[in-house]
């Protein structure tokens, strides 16, 4: 079974037929709820999806995480602050999203809190780290919705990003199920 994890129900639109988990917003809720679900359902793979911010933003586009980087602790010497994505699942995500960029994705509990990554989200490291601890392959896929630090929320394109994610989720689920 492939488990699709997102912070909010709206980010799971399009995952029809797949096992899903709303993990809540932020790294603490995401870690706790993902760990509990991993213990309960024992999936063969995890796809973490949602919207994200970017240092340079023009329009909604996809980023497949090569790794999730926990930025809140911000100590480059701690290897545990990096959770690599499963290479097979990254390749599967790229088959489903051929125009996607592959980059590290920063995880932070506050908007604008990431460092060293061009893409910022709030749950990826927590989800991927929980998966790594129990040996479940995982990957994070985000749709860019705004510029990091953009104070005018009216300029954020959340609806467009969620629509793009909903349209892509059936392809993502299909490709990842084959490799999970």
> What is residue 23's predicted lDDT score, i.e. its pLDDT?
97
- Nearest CA among 35, 120, 32, 33 for reference residue 72: 120
Q: How many CA atoms lie less than 13 Å away from 5 in the CB half-sphere?
A: 35
Residue spans of the domains in the chain: they are 2-179
- Nearest CA among 162, 143, 41 for reference residue 93: 143
Give the mean model confidence (pLDDT) for residues 60-89: 87
Band of residue 135 on the pLDDT scale cut at 50, 70, 90: very high
Phi, psi of 5 (to 5 degrees): -115, 135
Band of residue 77 on the pLDDT scale cut at 50, 70, 90: low
> What is residue 97's predicted lDDT score, i.e. its pLDDT?
98
pTM value is 0.94
CA 23 vs. chain centroid, Å, equals 11
Average pLDDT, the chain: 93
Q: What is the DSSP letter of 64?
A: E
What is the topology classification, in CATH, of domain 2-179?
A: Rossmann fold (3.40.50)
CB-CB contact of 92 with 179 (8 Å): yes
Structure tokens at 26: 């932020």
> Could you report the per-residue pLDDT of 6-51, keeping only the tens digit for each?
999 999 999 988 999 999 999 999 999 999 999 999 999 999 999 9
Q: How far, in Å, CA of 162 to CA of 51, rounded? A: 7
Structure tokens at 35: 């760990």
CA angle 97, 101, 107 (to 5 degrees): 110
């Amino acid at each position: 079974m492939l488990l699709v994890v997102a912070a909010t129900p709206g980010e799971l639109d399009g995952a029809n037929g797949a096992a899903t988990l709303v993990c809540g917003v932020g790294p603490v809720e995401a870690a706790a709820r993902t760990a509990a679900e991993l213990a309960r359902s024992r999936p063969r793979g995890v796809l973490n999806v949602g919207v994200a911010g970017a240092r340079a933003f023009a329009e909604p586009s996809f980023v497949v995480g090569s790794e999730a980087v926990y930025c809140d602790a911000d100590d480059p010497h701690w290897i545990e602050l990096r959770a690599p994505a499963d290479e097979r699942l990254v390749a599967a995500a790229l088959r489903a999203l051929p125009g996607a960029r592959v980059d590290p994705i920063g995880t932070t509990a506050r908007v604008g809190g990431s460092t060293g990554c061009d893409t910022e989200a709030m749950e990826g490291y927590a989800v991927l780290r929980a998966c790594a601890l129990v040996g479940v392959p995982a990957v994070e896929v985000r749709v860019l919705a705004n510029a990091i630090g953009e104070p005018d929320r009216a300029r954020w394109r959340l609806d467009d990003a969620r629509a793009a994610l909903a349209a892509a989720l059936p392809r993502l689920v299909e490709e990842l199920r084959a490799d999970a």
